[in-house]
Amino acid sequence: MIIEIYLAVILGILNLFLFSLFINIFLKYKIYDVPDFSRKIHETKVPLVGGIVFLINFFIYLPFILIFDESLIFFNGLREILGFFIGIVLIFLIGFYDDRFFLKPNSKLVLIALVAIITLSISDIYKVDHFNFLFLEKKIFLENFGIIFTIFCILVFVNAFNMIDGINGLSVSYFLICIFYILSLNFNLSFFIFLIIPGIIFLYFNFKNKLFLGDSGSLLLGFTLSCLFIKSHNDELINADQIVLLMIIPGIDMLRVASLRILKKKHAFQADRSHLHHLLLKKYNYLTSYLIIVGLIALTAFISIIVKSIYINVFEIISLVSIYLIFFGLIKLQK
């Protein structure tokens, strides 16, 4: 534990330096988000720094695989390591290209699917071939549909995570909640500290409007969570209903928004201001909107950990969906 404390301090100082450095570099080379005074609510050019610094932290972790005791290493074997790291590099490059030159939604979907296929072809640990539910004793096997279902899940979650990245702090706060949840089930601080420290430092700069994740960051973190969820499920550390609970807010919001866009004859992933956080901003200030979403996700995650009932996750999922639907029902009544 002492080693991890020293490591956290060193990573904290290093990440403060890295974020400050890349803020200046990205401003110099014009890799920033430009306000359009309609969909984007910021007023200045904000560098899209998040992805590159998170990626650097992943690679800083690699040498520690040789240092840490085998029981402290999150990945089991070379194929797991290669599958994950090749995947995150490719997904980062897709996002970085999109930040600089813009990718059409269909092109982005195809490329993300290809990255998922490459990752799955390297290691089966990232393939969903069965479900473990807390309230069921038997596993549900997918047989021949495992690969297709896994690609579908990764596409859905990566896009849902990308969509939640709409106001300062929201997506990375959600990312950290999920990381702490997985950490509570698998206390492997030697790996997760390389995600937690840059996440906390990012929030410091993001809340001050000094930087954004950009697509390079949101795709990277969304893909990372997808891999961690699937691996943790296959390692029997987390159940499918726990994953659904953590994903339900961004997932149901993505489903609603995508459906509305399709009904309006728009692309399902064409950006607009119809997300939950945008609608909350119309009724409340930024801090209240942020706290409502993060608070709901954090509270239900905490309850899921401390309450031992096998039906707790199902109950919370139904409760969150009900709250969500009631909120939008009230909005329609007010129109």
pLDDT in tens, 91-102: 999 999 999 888
Query: Collapsing DSSP states into helix, strand and coil, what is residue 47?
Result: strand
pLDDT at 187: 72
User: How long, in residues, is the chain?
Assistant: 335
Indicate the pTM of the whole model.
0.94
Model pLDDT, residue 40: 54
Residue 130, classed as helix, strand or coil, is strand
Predicted confidence at residue 64, as pLDDT, reads 81
> Whose structure tokens read 């990245």?
165
CA 64/CA 191 separation, integer angstroms? 9
- 3-state DSSP assignment of residue 46: strand
Identify the pLDDT of residue 212. Answer: 94
Residue ranges, the chain, pLDDT below 50: 37
pLDDT of the residue at 70: 66
Closest to 242 in 3D by CA, of 226, 229, 254: 229
> What pLDDT score does 168 carry?
93
How far the first Cα of the chain sits from its last, in Å, is 55
pLDDT digits (tens, 9 = 90+) for 181-229: 999 987 777 889 999 999 999 999 999 999 999 999 999 999 999 999 9
